[in-house]
Chain A
Amino acid sequence: MNTFIRQQRETTCQDGLTELRHYGMIIDLTKCLGCQTCTVACKLFHGLGPDIVRVRVVEQELGQYPDVERLYIPLRCMHCDEPECVKACPTGATKKRPDGIVTIDRDECMGCRYCSVVCPYHARSFIPVEKRYFPESDNHWEDVRYRQHQVGTMDKCDFCHERIDRATDRMLEPGEDPEATPICVISCIGKALYFGDLNDPESTVSRLLEERESFRLKEDLGTGPSIYYLPRRKRK
């Protein structure tokens, strides 16, 4: 859908009854190489210190010997429709935005870790102490970037919402324009990650969901994750 037309429609729907955008991600397990580029790109872009991981890729072995294969599964915050963390957070620091992105306000978090306990996807990291990769050296980058993350609070993936917010002001389309897309998606060397508006029937993510079989993790819990996985295609 044309970005201009969409923003016009959103303006007319500001009565709060309709939320047009719902950002989500699709991960194609056939294409994921398990290279962890998304993990590293995320850490670099957001300046995350040791032990703070927003995106991780886990490995799973499937089948029985000799017919065995290895699967790589990128995991992160699922930006659920019914996020348990938002309900559990006693301070209201964890919030769900109208566009479906779940964020943490670091200035409000008191570090009780209940959100991390209730999250079925282990998507959150607690920052217990200030740690550095290069503690001996005078590293200006670490000085500046690590200070943004408050010790004693929680951290998690926020779909790089600052990129999305900045870019949509400039009429860019998240998921289509690299500047308006999460850093993990644009850095994925296997093109296994897709980001976009799940409510837009013409977006790449919607079309992929229509064309391909997909599933979400732990759907039985009723959390309604916004991250879909495309299963690995069978080898012929």
Chain B
Amino acid sequence: MIKTLREGFVFQRDWTGKGERGLRDQMLMPAIFFGAISPGLYITALLTDFIPGLWVSVVLNIAGYGLAHIMYLGRMERFWRGLLNLRHSWISRGLLFNIIFTISSTGFVVLRSMGTVADSDQYMPVIKWISFISSLLFLAYPGFMLSFVKAIPFWHSAVEPLLFFIQGVLGGTAVQLLMGSLFRIDPSVSAGLLKINYLLVITVLLIILSALIIKSLHGEAERASVMYLLGIYRGEGRLFLYGALIGGLVIPLLLLSLFIFYGGHTAVVTATLYTALILELTGIYFAKYGFIRAGAYPSDTIPKREGV
């Protein structure tokens, strides 16, 4: 603590994934990752009518997000209590969005998979729209959850909801394009998704870089967060620098540029595409981990103006 006061900031320790409960403490990051990929994939699959993608999204949501998040809680049997402060708490809202998304998306996917009988049902458009809107809300809620935290200036900005939202859609397009190797996707849809994916990679890269530059110009705690992410602070944040920024965005951008502008359907080109998409997904994981891990509080030092 003495060192902390000297440094003028302290990194948050509650959501680091480290703790004495072992695996349970590590469940938060997978939950946040799948909590982005699942609704992102659902949105892209719904808009392109890709049923296998809808199924994978539902499975990722229930197994990847739901179970992991419940396992992370200190008292998992009380998870339902998380709905009791919808008025103020973003966790409550997130839980509500997730429940609506889980029920509506599962219902829609099951009915949609049943074929034409379900298509004629007058309730299908309603379920479809509920699942679509709840997936949008569910996708953005972790960003709002972080931006609510006034105590951590690095998080307390409008960037987080936007970034988390776009990262989710980016992940969704990446998973759907990867699934194209196993399931048949219309080539025109695939090409469209690839262009969207390419634009989203550029957008995320620009958002992250501008956020890092702007935040590095502010207070000491924000600078510490940026330094952490760039691996300058004790080298701890290199996962973000190499895993998310370079490996997860810059390299995929170069590979996708080669694929889009020089094209081709050889095995090497396809392998390049899949490599880029897998790197994108790992990059999203490391970016989320880095942003959460880098949250730093200004220290408890007494204001200088008090002249103590």
Q: Which of B46-105 contact A (CB under 8 A)?
A: 72-76, 78-79, 81-85, 88-92, 95
Q: Is B121 an interface residue (CB 8 A)?
A: no
Q: Does A60 lie within 8 Å of B302, measured CB to CB?
A: yes
Whether A112 contacts B91 in the complex (CB less than 8 A), given A118-B148, A128-B21, comes out as yes
Q: Is A217 an interface residue (CB 8 A)?
A: yes
Whether A60 contacts B84 in the complex (CB less than 8 A), given A118-B149, A129-B20, comes out as no
Whether A73 contacts B78 in the complex (CB less than 8 A), given A58-B5, A90-B83, A116-B14, comes out as no
**Chain A residues whose C-beta falls within 8 Å of the C-beta of B10 in the assembled complex:** 122
State the Cβ distance, B34 to closest chain A Cβ, in Å: 17
State the Cβ distance, B75 to closest chain A Cβ, in Å: 4
Which one of B158-166, B194-202, B224-232, B293-301 is at the interface? B293-301
**Chain B residues whose C-beta falls within 8 Å of the C-beta of A153 in the assembled complex:** 74-75
Q: Is A207 an interface residue (CB 8 A)?
A: no
**Chain B residues whose C-beta falls within 8 Å of the C-beta of A58 in the assembled complex:** 1-2, 5, 300
Contact of A110 among B20, B81, B300 (CB under 8 A): B81
Report which residue of A112, A127, A221, A222 has the largest number of chain B beta carbons within 10 angstroms of its beta carbon.
A112
State the Cβ distance, B40 to closest chain A Cβ, in Å: 23
Q: Does B300 lie within 8 Å of A73, measured CB to CB?
A: yes
Can you offer 25 A-B residue contacts whose CB atoms are under 8 A?
Answer: A29-B302, A58-B2, A59-B5, A60-B2, A71-B308, A73-B302, A90-B82, A90-B91, A91-B78, A91-B81, A91-B85, A112-B74, A114-B89, A116-B14, A117-B15, A120-B150, A122-B10, A128-B19, A129-B20, A153-B74, A215-B303, A217-B300, A218-B151, A231-B302, A234-B307
Q: How far is the CA of A115 from the CA of B190 in the complex (A)?
A: 43
Q: Is B234 an interface residue (CB 8 A)?
A: no
Chain A 58-77, CB-CB to B under 8 Å as 1, else 0, gives: 11111000000001010100
Q: Does A113 lie within 8 Å of B74, measured CB to CB?
A: yes
Q: Does A120 lie within 8 Å of B297, measured CB to CB?
A: yes
Q: Does A75 lie within 8 Å of B306, measured CB to CB?
A: no
Q: Does B302 lie within 8 Å of A110, measured CB to CB?
A: no
Q: Is B12 an interface residue (CB 8 A)?
A: yes
Q: Is A89 an interface residue (CB 8 A)?
A: yes
**Chain A residues whose C-beta falls within 8 Å of the C-beta of B149 in the assembled complex:** 84, 117-118
Whether A88 contacts B148 in the complex (CB less than 8 A), given A29-B308, A116-B14, A128-B19, comes out as yes
Chain B 130-150, CB-CB to A under 8 Å as 1, else 0, gives: 000000000000000100111
State the Cβ distance, B72 to closest chain A Cβ, in Å: 8
**Chain B residues whose C-beta falls within 8 Å of the C-beta of A9 in the assembled complex:** none
Chain A 94-128, CB-CB to B under 8 Å as 1, else 0, gives: 00000000000000111111101111111000111
Q: Is B6 an interface residue (CB 8 A)?
A: yes
Chain B 170-191, CB-CB to A under 8 Å as 1, else 0, gives: 0000000000000000000000
Q: Does A111 lie within 8 Å of B306, measured CB to CB?
A: no
The 9 closest A-B pairs by CB, nearest first: A111-B74, A152-B74, A120-B151, A91-B81, A90-B91, A231-B308, A87-B88, A110-B78, A90-B82
Q: How far is the CA of A110 from the CA of B71 in the complex (A)?
A: 11
Contact of B89 among A88, A119, A121, A222 (CB under 8 A): A88
Interface residues on chain A, number (Cβ under 8 Å): 52
Whether A128 contacts B300 in the complex (CB less than 8 A), given A215-B306, A231-B308, comes out as no
Known: A87-B88, A153-B75. 12 other contacts (CB 8 A): A60-B301, A61-B6, A90-B81, A91-B81, A110-B74, A114-B89, A120-B150, A121-B300, A122-B300, A128-B20, A152-B74, A152-B75
Q: Is A23 an interface residue (CB 8 A)?
A: no
> Which residue in chain B gives the minimum CB-CB distance to A216?
B303
Contact of B14 among A75, A113, A231 (CB under 8 A): A113
State the Cβ distance, A104 to closest chain B Cβ, in Å: 12
Q: How far is the CA of A74 from the CA of B84 in the complex (A)?
A: 34
**Chain B residues whose C-beta falls within 8 Å of the C-beta of A234 in the assembled complex:** 307
State the Cβ distance, B230 to closest chain A Cβ, in Å: 23
Q: How far is the CA of A84 from the CA of B66 in the complex (A)?
A: 26
**Chain B residues whose C-beta falls within 8 Å of the C-beta of A56 in the assembled complex:** 1
Q: Does A109 lie within 8 Å of B74, measured CB to CB?
A: yes
Chain A 26-60, CB-CB to B under 8 Å as 1, else 0, gives: 00010000000000000000000000000010111
State the Cβ distance, A123 to closest chain B Cβ, in Å: 10
**Chain B residues whose C-beta falls within 8 Å of the C-beta of A152 in the assembled complex:** 73-75
**Chain A residues whose C-beta falls within 8 Å of the C-beta of B81 in the assembled complex:** 90-93, 108, 110
> Which residue in chain B gives the minimum CB-CB distance to A223?
B150
> Which residue in chain A gives the minimum CB-CB distance to B307?
A231
> Which residue in chain B gives the minimum CB-CB distance to A154?
B74
